[in-house]
Homo-oligomer: A and B are copies of this chain.
Amino acid sequence: MAWLDAVAFDENGLVAAIAQDADSGDVLMLAWMNRAALAETARLGEAVYFSRSRQRLWHKGERSGHVQKVESIRLDCDGDAVLLSIRQHGGIACHTGRRRCLFRQLVNGQWQTTDPVLKNPGDIYGQ
């Protein structure tokens, strides 16, 4: 697909993908996509990333049910960043059970956790 050729995948074949909540505007997480993940995200209308740790496509929510419905896909000027506007199923994007992965804020030289755990990871992943 021609639109995929505009994406500047890096030396590992990946592009950074930011997921932003379509309602609140909050940035929830940053993950990575290879060409297949981005193509599948567009086809499916749900976020599909590439898991660097597992080295495979990762349909977000495949285990947790916390699927991200994609409202729009954006690309930056030099093609190496993608922005997804998404609706987060279950209201939890982070594997720690928090609303977003970006749950720490730098305050007086220390990272403060600002967001509560909404659901125990053991309950999310059935461990």
Q: Which residues of A contact B (CB under 8 A)?
A: 1-3, 6, 16, 18, 20, 24-27, 29-30, 42, 72-78, 80-81, 83, 94-96, 98, 101-106, 109-111
Interface SS of chain A: helix, strand, loop or mixed?
mixed
Copies of this chain per assembly: 2
Closest partner residue, chain B, to A7 (CB atom): B111
Quick check: B83 and A27 within 8 Å, CB to CB?
yes
The answer to whether B77 and A94 have CB atoms under 8 Å apart is: yes
A1 cross-chain contacts in B, Cβ below 8 A: 109
Q: Complex formed: what's the CA distance from A108 to B106 in Å?
A: 40
A94 to B79, CA, bound (A): 13
14 residue pairs of the A-B complex, CB under 8 angstroms, read A3-B111, A16-B30, A18-B18, A18-B27, A20-B27, A24-B25, A29-B81, A75-B102, A75-B106, A76-B101, A77-B94, A77-B98, A78-B101, A81-B102
Contact among B27, B30, B77, B95 for A103, CB-based, below 8 A: B77
Given contacts A25-B26, A76-B101, A76-B103, 16 further A-B contacts (CB under 8 A): A2-B110, A3-B109, A3-B111, A18-B30, A25-B25, A29-B76, A29-B81, A42-B106, A73-B106, A74-B102, A75-B104, A75-B106, A75-B111, A78-B101, A81-B101, A81-B102
